């Protein structure tokens, strides 16, 4: 059966999601915003995925909406898309929220479109501090409601004094928030986010070699620390599988969410109003966006339904055969 963590069987769903997202793009500048958390909070999140992952997504959306609505900054009702992402290039646990947000929004009376300055959306330091405050307050509330469980190396956090000191330490550090207009436009960010919406950890093209219980894969080193940036890493099969499984999401968790005027309950009417105020017709696709379907019925969600090619909009994927898994490979147990 298809699995949402698989890079192969979710290919059709990914293409359909990107096409729908491109059809919803507005004819305005967009910004790629990323919210990260310090290591102490990431460790708590790993042991409390259902609770903490959800509150991180809610805090990111609330931060963007609240700061954007402030007349001192933008003074508008915005909408955006959030995607939860948990891994680094070397497959370590690194939870963060990636967002794609139009550079403007509706005025409070919905009579005009309010644009941000070219190349500047919202001040990242203000975003960082509100996000930090919201996350720490939500964590404290969850702890008080006994919804946070700390085990193993984090067992000491079950004691209130230790917990309070840990949150105080996190409150004293700067949390990194990134916000930048993508050079190649919002389509580039949608394609980028699409790599993470329907799989986890890494794609098959990064797997370079599997031999004698060792797995070699490529990764991209941080820009400031390495030349060339493309490097390789070799791990034992057990360690590779352990790192991959770090990123399996809780059952029923929705990693893709929309907020503001892009929320599902009023997305169609709000987008039509935005296009009207931006000088476009609601039926026209935005400049530079693919003419893809805009609802769930226009494009299939899974590979067996033969999705339309996102490039030519005419060709369709035809399933010729399914390759069964190779059962001859030895089973490697993770005893960690």
pLDDT in tens, 110-143: 999 999 999 899 999 999 999 999 999 999 999 9
- At residue 297, the pLDDT reads 38
User: What is the pLDDT of the chain when averaged over all its residues?
Assistant: 82
Domain ranges of the chain: 26-201+251-288, 205-246
pLDDT in tens, 223-248: 666 566 788 999 999 999 999 888 88
pLDDT classification of 309: cutoffs 50, 70, 90? low
- At residue 11, the pLDDT reads 65
pTM of the complete model: 0.77
- At residue 257, the pLDDT reads 92
pLDDT in tens, 42-96: 999 999 999 999 999 999 999 999 999 999 999 999 999 999 989 888 888 999 9
299-305: long-range pairs with CB below 8 Å, 24+: 299/15, 299/16, 299/19, 299/20, 300/12, 300/16, 301/12, 301/13, 301/16, 302/2, 302/9, 302/12, 302/13, 303/2, 303/9, 303/10, 303/11, 303/12, 303/13, 304/12, 305/12
User: Which residues 6+ apart lie within 8 Å of 281 measured at CB?
Assistant: 275
pLDDT in tens, 255-301: 889 999 999 888 899 999 999 999 843 334 444 443 343 333 334 43
Q: What is the mean pLDDT of residues 318-331?
A: 56
- Between CA 311 and CA 96 the distance in angstroms is 30
In 212-255, the DSSP E strands lie at 214-220, 230-236
- At residue 254, the pLDDT reads 87
Percent of the chain at pLDDT > 70 equals 78
Bridge partners (DSSP) listed for residue 218? 232
Residue 268: other Cβ atoms inside 10 A:
13
């Amino acid at each position: 059966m298809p699995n949402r963590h698989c890079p192969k069987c979710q290919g059709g769903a990914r293409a359909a999601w990107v096409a729908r997202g491109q059809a919803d793009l507005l004819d305005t500048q967009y910004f790629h915003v990323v919210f990260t958390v310090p290591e102490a909070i990431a460790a708590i999140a790993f042991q409390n995925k259902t609770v903490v992952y959800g509150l991180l997504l809610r805090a990111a959306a609330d931060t963007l909406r609240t700061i954007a609505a402030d007349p001192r900054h933008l003074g508008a009702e915005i909408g955006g898309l959030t995607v939860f992402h948990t891994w680094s290039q070397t497959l370590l646990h690194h939870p963060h929220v990636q967002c794609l947000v139009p550079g403007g929004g509706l005025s409070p009376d919905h009579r005009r479109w309010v644009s941000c300055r070219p190349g500047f959306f919202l001040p990242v330091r203000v975003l960082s501090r509100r996000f930090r405050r919201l996350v720490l307050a939500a964590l404290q509330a969850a702890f008080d409601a006994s919804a946070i469980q700390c085990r193993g190396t984090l067992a000491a956090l079950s004691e209130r004094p230790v917990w309070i000191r840990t949150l105080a330490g996190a409150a004293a550090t700067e949390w990194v928030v990134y916000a930048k207009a993508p050079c190649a436009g919002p389509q580039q960010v949608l394609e980028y986010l699409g790599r993470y919406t329907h799989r986890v950890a890494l794609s098959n093209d990064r797997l370079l070699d599997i031999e004698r219980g060792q797995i070699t894969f490529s990764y991209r080193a941080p820009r400031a620390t390495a030349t060339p940036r493309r490097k390789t890493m070799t791990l034992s099969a057990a360690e590779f599988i352990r790192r991959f499984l770090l990123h399996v999401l809780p059952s029923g968790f929705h990693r893709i969410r929309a907020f503001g005027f892009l929320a599902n309950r009023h997305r169609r009417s709000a987008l039509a109003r935005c296009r009207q105020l931006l000088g476009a017709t609601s039926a026209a696709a935005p400049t530079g966006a693919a003419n893809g379907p805009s609802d769930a019925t226009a494009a299939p969600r899974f590979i067996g339904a033969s999705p339309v090619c996102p490039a030519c909009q005419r060709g369709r994927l035809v399933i010729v055969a399914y390759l069964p898994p190779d059962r001859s490979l030895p089973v490697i147990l993770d005893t960690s």
